[in-house]
């Protein structure tokens, strides 16, 4: 008798589904990849259908369906919050109500109806932060670990800590809404003109350009951060309890004006604000880490919740040495709640042990759909496109490596799609990090954005310490740690370049000053968001890096997600082909087939470009 558990997260942002059969993660995917609507928060019907097909199941075969939060408790928070701020919160309350009355309060009915066929499965509603905690601890490689969850808000909690031991987790303490590190970071994201719930990454990328000159003001006026990492926000400055915006008049007065309009130019003030809130966040995370270590006595730490995607803070926490090692759930945001909910039922409620095997149980986070070479061949044949099919993998990787060394940009579509916001080499765009032009080229011609951020590097695990300041053997398989480029890989900067780096109002000029042997992935403070890879985690990508190193002496590639600005990462070969066509990508690798863009496809792509880009809202 097998036990099949479906986890669901929905109706907030980043809806997702996950399937766990007898404790093994069989599948997990975000709804946005199927609907092509970024951060899609609708009920994840298509992600559920995919998960069931991956497990060869129908809804009738499911034993449990686990939802990632408790709708009634959440509703109670909304109601209490409204009453506390009434009548000023009426507008946001009124806007939220129809969906609550229609779907959210009747989640049992909504779920059963959405499955479209009968199921005997028991429905379980887990606590939101318990699902984050479960998603962090259960797939981790640790027998015992401290747990920290940090996000915007779930039902009431915004931060929790606890311990995981064997197959059980126990949350010990929490901080409740409206006091929230995630919402504090989002308030600055909003104020600096980026989108809440997606632009936090940009704010983190902006921080190295600034100085933390507002850090003290933030600590004095906005947040009372205690020595143990607990905190209290001064709600006089925030608007998210009663309005439709994050920040209020007093906040704007404190920081010298109204919020920046999105897409308008960035001033030094915004960079300094980014540096300041980043510094405060790191300080809070470090204090929480120290407190939790002292309280639990654990050597290892696991993390989840949206704030755990702050890889700069994670890198600092690791360097600080409070814990010997950390593991971060790659789908740390609310999508990961679907996985956490399913694992929570299996381990915590059904009391099933965890099979620890040295490495984590996340399987590289390659938990999404896979498409065969035959599928890709049919697609290209239908378009009369002459792709080159490789029978021998070493010939394929040698070919692609030399293309990359020639400065070409390669769409790399291999195996099962990643679960989580980062592309990890299954749906990636790759390039040569040694090229001083690569950052600008990939941004303008492929992503269609003007970015002040460098790209992330993927590096062979056993070469990582030769390029980055990482401890020997330190893995970062999910691109969730930041470390600096090694001193001996940096290059001297002449006075003119230094002037540009410090003063040029156009941040793209600053980021494009060559600072290291791998400029496309080196930020202005020499930091890099690292992904390590080895034969076991992703054999084909590891072999590609080896081939590239044989040619160039460099075991590093640029790895960015396979999409344009505002587009969800591609899921199917069809999505990949459309994105390849509409951009200036040079080569598309679909499983064993390599397609090189010729003049005709290039022209066709340029004609289709505008229409393609118009589908996606800027993020």
Q: Which stretch binds Fe ion (CB under 5 A): 246-254, 334-342, 459-467, 610-618?
A: 334-342
- Which residue lies nearer to Fe ion by CB, 281 or 451? 281
Closest Cα partner for 150 from 42, 230, 246?
Answer: 230
Q: Which stretch binds Fe ion (CB under 5 A): 146-154, 205-213, 584-592, 606-614?
A: 146-154
- Which residue lies nearer to Fe ion by CB, 182 or 259? 182
Q: Does residue 151 touch Fe ion according to CB under 5 A?
A: yes
Sole residue written with tokens 């749906």: 427
Q: Which stretch binds Fe ion (CB under 5 A): 101-109, 147-155, 214-222, 526-534?
A: 147-155
Give me the least distance between CB of 334 and Fe ion, in Å please.
5
Site for Fe ion in 251-280 (CB under 5 A): none
Pairwise CA distance, residues 273 & 215, whole Å: 8
- Which residue lies nearer to Fe ion by CB, 152 or 259? 152
Angle, alpha carbons 218-221-227 (nearest 5°):
70
Q: Does residue 155 touch Fe ion according to CB under 5 A?
A: no
Pairwise CA distance, residues 428 & 589, whole Å: 10
- Which residue lies nearer to Fe ion by CB, 54 or 151? 151
Site for Fe ion in 560-589 (CB under 5 A): none
Helix (H, G, I), strand (E, B) or coil at 511: helix
Q: Which stretch binds Fe ion (CB under 5 A): 165-173, 293-301, 327-335, 553-561?
A: 327-335
Pairwise CA distance, residues 307 & 445, whole Å: 31
Give me the least distance between CB of 151 and Fe ion, in Å please.
4
- Which residue lies nearer to Fe ion by CB, 72 or 437? 72
CB atoms within 10 A of CB 208: 21
- Which residue lies nearer to Fe ion by CB, 334 or 575? 334
Sole residue written with tokens 């200036």: 584
Q: CB nearest Fe ion: which residue?
A: 151
What are 416's two structure tokens?
A: 């099962």
Number of residues interacting with Fe ion: please give it, by CB under 5 A.
2
Instruction: Check if 13 is active-site.
Output: yes
> What's the Rg (C-alpha) of the chain?
24
Give me the least distance between CB of 336 and Fe ion, in Å please.
8
* Eight-class DSSP state of 478: T
x/- contact string, 105-144, with Fe ion (CB under 5 A)?
A: ----------------------------------------
Give me the least distance between CB of 24 and Fe ion, in Å please.
24
- Which residue lies nearer to Fe ion by CB, 26 or 47? 47
Give me the least distance between CB of 69 and Fe ion, in Å please.
8
**For residues 133 and 292, is the Cβ–Cβ distance under 8 A?**
no
**For residues 330 and 366, is the Cβ–Cβ distance under 8 A?**
no
Percent composition of the chain: helix, strand, coil (DSSP 3-state, to 5):
45, 20, 40
Q: Does residue 14 touch Fe ion according to CB under 5 A?
A: no
**Within a 13 Å sphere around the CA of 251, how many CA atoms are in the beta-carbon half?**
24
Strands (E), 234-346: 300-304, 325-328
What are 422's two structure tokens?
A: 């980062």
Q: Which stretch binds Fe ion (CB under 5 A): 184-192, 282-290, 333-341, 547-555?
A: 333-341
Residue from 334, 398, 432, 475 that binds Fe ion (CB under 5 A)? 334
Sole residue written with tokens 């070479």: 373
Give me the least distance between CB of 365 and Fe ion, in Å please.
18
Pairwise CA distance, residues 64 & 47, whole Å: 17
Residues comprising the chain, all counted: 619
Give me the least distance between CB of 132 and Fe ion, in Å please.
6
Pairwise CA distance, residues 18 & 335, whole Å: 9
Of the listed 13, 128, 347, 523, which one is catalytic?
Answer: 13
> Could you list the active site residues?
13
Residues forming the site for Fe ion (CB under 5 A): 151, 334
């Amino acid at each position: 008798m097998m036990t099949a558990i479906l986890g669901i997260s929905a109706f907030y942002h980043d809806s997702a589904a996950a399937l766990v059969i007898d404790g093994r993660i069989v599948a997990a995917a975000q709804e946005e990849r199927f609907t092509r609507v970024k951060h899609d928060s609708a009920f994840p019907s298509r992600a559920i259908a995919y998960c069931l097909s991956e497990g060869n199941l129908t809804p009738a075969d499911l034993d449990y369906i686990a939802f990632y939060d408790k709708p009634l408790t959440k509703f109670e928070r909304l109601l209490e919050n409204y009453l506390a701020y009434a009548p000023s919160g009426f507008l946001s309350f009124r806007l939220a109500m129809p969906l609550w009355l229609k779907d959210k309060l009747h989640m049992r009915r909504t779920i059963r109806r959405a499955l479209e066929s009968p199921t005997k499965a028991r429905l379980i509603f887990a606590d939101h932060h318990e699902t984050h905690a479960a998603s962090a601890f259960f797939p981790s490689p640790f027998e015992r670990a401290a747990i920290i969850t940090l996000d915007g808000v779930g039902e009431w909690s915004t931060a929790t800590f606890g311990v995981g031991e064997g197959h059980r987790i126990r949350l010990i303490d929490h901080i409740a809404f409206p006091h929230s590190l995630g919402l504090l970071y989002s308030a600055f994201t909003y104020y600096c003109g980026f989108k809440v719930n997606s632009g936090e990454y940009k704010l983190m990328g902006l921080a190295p350009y600034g100085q933390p000159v507002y850090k003290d003001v933030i600590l004095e006026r906005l947040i009372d951060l205690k020595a143990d990492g607990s905190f209290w926000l001064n709600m006089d400055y925030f608007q998210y309890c009663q309005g439709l915006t994050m920040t209020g008049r007093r906040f704007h007065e404190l920081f010298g004006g109204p919020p920046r309009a999105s897409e308008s130019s960035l001033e030094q003030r915004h960079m300094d604000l980014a540096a300041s809130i980043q510094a405060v966040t790191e300080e809070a995370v470090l204090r929480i880490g120290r407190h939790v270590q002292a309280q639990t006595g654990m050597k290892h730490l696991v993390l989840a919740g949206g704030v755990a995607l702050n890889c700069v803070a994670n890198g600092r926490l690791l360097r600080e040495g409070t814990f010997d090692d950390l593991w971060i759930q790659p789908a740390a945001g609310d999508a990961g709640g679907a996985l956490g909910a399913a694992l929570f039922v299996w381990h915590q409620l059904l009391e099933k042990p965890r099979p620890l095997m040295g490495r984590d149980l996340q399987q590289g986070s390659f938990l999404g759909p896979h498409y065969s070479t035959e599928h890709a061949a049919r697609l290209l044949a239908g378009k009369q496109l002459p792709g080159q099919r490789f029978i021998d993998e070493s010939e394929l990787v040698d070919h692609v490596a030399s293309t990359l060394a020639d400065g070409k940009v390669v769409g790399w579509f291999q195996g099962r799609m990643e679960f989580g916001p980062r592309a990890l080499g299954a749906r990636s765009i790759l390039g040569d990090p040694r090229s001083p032009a690569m950052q600008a080229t990939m941004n303008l011609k492929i992503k269609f954005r003007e970015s002040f951020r460098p790209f992330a590097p993927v590096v062979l695990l056993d070469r990582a310490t030769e390029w980055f300041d990482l401890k020997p053997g330190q893995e970062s398989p999910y691109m969730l740690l930041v470390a600096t480029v090694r001193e001996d890989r940096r290059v001297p900067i002449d006075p003119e370049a230094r002037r540009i780096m410090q003063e040029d109002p156009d941040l793209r000029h600053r980021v494009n000053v060559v600072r290291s042997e791998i400029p496309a992935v080196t930020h202005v403070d020499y930091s890099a968001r690292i992904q390590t890879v080895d034969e076991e985690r992703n054999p084909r990508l590891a072999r590609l890096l080896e081939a590239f190193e044989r040619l160039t002496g460099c075991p590093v590639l640029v790895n960015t997600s396979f999409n344009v600005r505002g587009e969800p990462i591609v899921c199917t070969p069809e999505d990949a082909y459309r994105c390849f066509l509409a951009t200036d990508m040079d080569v598309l690798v679909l499983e064993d087939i390599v397609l090189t863009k010729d003049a005709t496809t290039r022209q066709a792509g340029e004609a289709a470009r505008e229409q393609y880009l118009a589908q996606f809202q800027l993020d």
